[in-house]
Amino acid sequence: MGLMNLMLGKLNPTEEAIMDRAIWETYATHDITPQTTEFTGLEVPTMSDLVNVLGGITGGESLAQRLTKYTDGTFSGIFNHPTNINVDNQLMIFSVRDLEDTLRPIAIYVLLNYIWNEVRSTLKKRILVIDEAWWMMQNEDSARFLFGVAKRARKYYLGVTTITQDVQDFLQSPYGKPIVTNSSIQFLLKQSPAAIDFVAETFFLTEGEKYLLLESEVGEGIFFAGMKHVAIRVVASYTEDQIITTDPKQRLEIQRAKDELAGA
């Protein structure tokens, strides 16, 4: 239901009731019910199956019509197929960089939900890193979901790291500040003058610390561990810098050097 609220906009109580019924019936058409214990050989329904069921329910026609852009329209190739991801790999990266802005919160919600189900099903040590986490804060459902993961992760042997370039946007969500205060470690890098007062109030910065964050160079900032905080500078090795740099000029130089080496 959280996913449907993201895809279709906030559903009213009547629409939620219709959608809830349709979801149950969609799984039932594939012989998946609350009593099902063995899923081997069963075909998992897709978004198209849900649209077909909604079209046959009185009052569900509008919901079905609004969902068609994810099944037959522009976005049909993203959300209308069974997953083929193998989560047994030691390192997994899900990138939503090339998705349109309207699709990113939906994609991140789907990914986090999938990861969270995997985390709860098998207990083992894991780390979940969410870059550009402020995207999650733009929507009530995805923000609430991230907050729930951050609060419950330790119970399932999961460490959660959230990374954002826009601290103010992240903290302005009602779920942003609890996520930050629930974190055992925080690391602040250079801040803009427009956001520094808001950040200073949230993290109880002194005037000297505010000035430090305004004047910091790349890799410099303040490291928080519990009630203690200290100025810090992170220096990447040459190899690390070549891998992680996002400077367009430096990336072009690296690519040019690779091309010259390949030509030689």
Range of the domain at 57: 1-81
For the chain, what is the domain count?
Answer: 2
CB-CB neighbours of 102 under 10 Å: 9
Number of helices (H), then strands (E), in the chain: 13, 5
The domain spanning residue 132 has which CATH number? 3.40.50.300
**pLDDT recorded at residue 20:** 93
Q: Is residue 139 part of a domain?
A: yes
Question: Rounded to the nearest 5°, which phi and psi values hold at 198?
Answer: -65, -45
pLDDT single digits (tens) 109-127 = 888 888 888 888 888 899 9
Q: Is residue 45 part of a domain?
A: yes
Q: Is residue 226 part of a domain?
A: no
**pLDDT recorded at residue 137:** 82
- In this structure, are 179 and 87 located in the same domain? yes
Whole-angstrom Cα distance, residue 234 to residue 104? 30
Q: Is residue 258 part of a domain?
A: no
- In this structure, are 92 and 138 located in the same domain? yes
Which of the listed residues 43, 60, 81 is the one where a domain comes to its end?
81
Closest CA to 235 of 251, 247, 218, 249: 218
Identify the three-state secondary structure at position 230.
strand
Largest CA distance in the chain: 69
Can you give the pLDDT of all 264 residues of the chain as single tens digits?
888 888 888 889 999 999 999 999 999 998 898 888 888 888 889 999 999 999 999 888 999 999 998 888 778 778 888 877 777 788 888 888 788 877 887 888 888 888 888 888 888 899 999 888 887 787 777 788 888 888 888 899 999 999 888 787 788 888 888 888 888 888 999 888 888 888 888 888 888 889 899 988 888 999 988 778 889 999 989 888 888 888 889 889 888 888 888 876
- In this structure, are 100 and 179 located in the same domain? yes
The domain spanning residue 39 has which CATH number? 1.10.8.730
**pLDDT recorded at residue 138:** 78
- In this structure, are 61 and 72 located in the same domain? yes
Alpha-helical (H) ranges within the chain are: 2-8, 13-28, 47-55, 61-67, 76-79, 104-121, 140-152, 167-172, 176-181, 193-203, 207-215, 238-244, 248-263
Using CA atoms of 258, 261, 262, 264 in order, give the dihedral in degrees to the nearest 10. Answer: 160
pLDDT single digits (tens) 170-219 = 888 888 888 888 888 889 998 888 888 888 888 888 888 898 999 888 88
- In this structure, are 35 and 63 located in the same domain? yes
Produce one character per residue of 89-99: b if its CB has 16 or more CB atoms within 10 Å, e if not.
Answer: eeeeeeebeee
Q: Is residue 18 part of a domain?
A: yes
Q: Is residue 198 part of a domain?
A: no
**pLDDT recorded at residue 264:** 62
Q: What is the pTM of this model?
A: 0.70
> Would you state the structure tokens that stand for residue 149, as one six-digit string?
């993961």
CB-CB neighbours of 259 under 10 Å: 10
Tokens 């959608």 belong to 19
